C-alpha cells in the first residue's frame, strides 16, 4: 500500500499513474539500460519528432541515463543502444549520481560548508565597470 501511495503522490519516486497510463496507451518499449531504466517511444510532438521518455528504476534522476541512451532520448541519434552494439567512447565517464544536497556535494574552498580559506585573488582579474 505504501508504494502505491508513493506512486500516486510523488513524481520523483519512479513512475506516476499518469505516466503509466500514457505509456500503456501510446508507448512502445525500446529497451532497458544497465541501471534498470526502461525507455519508450510513442506518437509525435509538435515538431514532428517521435516522443521519447524513460521510466526510471527508483528515484527520477536525469543524471542516471547512460551516454548512449542520453544521445537517443535527446534525438542525437535515431538508433537506440538496444538496436546496436553500443560501446561507450574512451572519453565518456561512467555514471556518477547527482550529489547535490549530500555530504559528497562539491564544496569549494571558502564556501559556508568548507572551512578552508578561499584562495587569494592573484591580481590578474579586473572587475568590469560601466563605461570601461
Residue-wise pLDDT for 66-123, tens only, equals 888 888 899 998 888 888 777 778 887 777 778 888 888 888 888 888 888 877 777 7
Phi/psi for 50 (5° steps) reads: -70, 130
Is the confidence at residue 12, as pLDDT, over 60? no
User: Grid coordinates representing 27?
Assistant: 508507448
pLDDT score at 3: 64
DSSP 72-87: HHTTS-SS-GGGTT--
Stretch 50-73: mean pLDDT, rounded?
85
Stretch 28-55: mean pLDDT, rounded?
87
Amino acid at each position: 500500500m505504501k508504494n502505491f501511495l508513493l506512486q500516486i503522490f510523488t513524481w520523483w519516486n519512479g513512475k506516476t499513474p499518469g505516466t503509466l497510463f500514457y505509456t500503456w496507451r501510446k508507448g512502445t518499449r525500446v529497451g532497458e539500460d544497465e541501471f534498470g531504466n526502461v525507455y519508450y517511444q510513442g506518437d509525435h510532438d509538435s515538431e514532428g519528432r517521435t516522443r521519447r521518455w524513460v521510466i526510471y528504476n527508483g528515484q527520477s534522476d536525469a543524471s542516471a541515463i547512460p551516454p548512449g541512451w542520453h544521445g537517443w532520448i535527446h534525438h542525437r541519434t535515431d538508433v537506440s543502444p538496444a538496436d546496436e552494439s553500443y560501446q561507450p567512447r574512451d572519453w565518456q565517464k561512467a555514471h556518477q549520481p547527482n550529489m547535490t544536497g549530500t555530504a559528497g556535494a562539491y564544496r569549494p574552498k571558502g564556501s559556508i560548508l568548507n572551512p578552508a580559506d578561499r584562495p587569494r585573488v592573484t591580481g590578474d582579474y579586473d572587475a568590469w565597470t560601466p563605461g570601461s
